[in-house]
Amino acid sequence: MSEKEKIGTYRLVAEPFHVDFSGRLTLGVLGNHLLNCAGFHATERGFGIATLNEENYTWVLSRLAIEMDEMPRQYEEFTVQTWIENVYRLFTDRNFAVTDKDGRRIGYARSVWAMINLSTRKPADLLSLNGGGILDYVCDEPCPIEKPSRVKVTAGEPVATLTARYSDIDVNGHVNSVRYIEHILDLFPLDLYRERRLRRFEMAYVSECYYGDELSFYLDEAGGGEYRAEVRKGAGGEVACRARVMFE
């Protein structure tokens, strides 16, 4: 199979309600697009969620790291490309590249996924998926950004709390992956976005939250524009996700 067949390419546009005060696409919306493109790519190659669901399996997003030199401007077209970098027994690495309207690469992303059995919620063996067919799509396209790191948050008191509402909940009944990103970005004052630029965002998804859960947000400032955030279910409760947010 050619490298080109292994890479999915999707054209998008930065819609007016998807840009922030600066007129640039928000990272939450970009995250949404990346995850959609992952879905398109998998579906077109026979291992999308719909097919997996029939076999009682589904994909679970474990980690996501997005690093952007710049964000598309309102109304600008851009392209997302995605491919599989590695397949291990329990995880697969899927990478992304974002290209601007002039064909210039403006950013990359990395994601890590597991497949679980819908009945047992236990991880499944990816190497046996479609008789190992997923391995045919492994591609050596470069992705010149660091892998997601381990994030540790030490703050003892939450800086914000909110209750998971209707708009937070996805079709699986969980708080949706993109909403966590938006809620974490909302921890920072607008002045920080004015003075610096969000360069990199990493997220590790740890456990699911549900409608009515109280989400507590803990935040460490690591210096140099770097912040680490942790979302817990209730003050001091179970960790839902952890993020590393780097402004430049």
Q: Which residues of this chain interact with a copy of itself, rule CB under 8 A?
A: 15-23, 26, 28, 32, 35-36, 39, 49-50, 74-75, 165-171, 173, 176-178, 182, 185-186, 188-190, 193, 211-212
Q: What angle is formed at CA 81 by the lines to CA 245 and CA 46, rounded to 5 degrees?
A: 115
Q: Pick between residue 137 and residue 217 the one whose CB is nearest to a copy of itself.
A: 217
CA trace torsion 74, 162, 229, 218 (10° rounding): 150
Is the separation of the CB atoms in 18 and 94 below 8 Å?
Answer: no
Q: Least CB distance from residue 166 to a copy of itself, whole Å? A: 5
Give the contacts of 31 (CB within 8 A, at least 6 positions apart): 64, 66, 177, 178, 181, 201
User: Residue 195, Cα to own-chain centre: how many angstroms?
Assistant: 25
Q: Pick between residue 27 and residue 143 the one whose CB is nearest to a copy of itself.
A: 27
Sign of CA dihedral 162, 165, 168, 169: positive
Q: Pick between residue 183 and residue 228 the one whose CB is nearest to a copy of itself.
A: 183
> In degrees rounded to 5, what are phi and psi of residue 110?
-125, 145
Q: Least CB distance from residue 49 to a copy of itself, whole Å? A: 8
Q: Pick between residue 27 and residue 139 the one whose CB is nearest to a copy of itself.
A: 27
Q: Least CB distance from residue 73 to a copy of itself, whole Å? A: 9
Q: Least CB distance from residue 95 to a copy of itself, whole Å? A: 20
Q: Least CB distance from residue 147 to a copy of itself, whole Å? A: 24
Q: Pick between residue 20 and residue 141 the one whose CB is nearest to a copy of itself.
A: 20
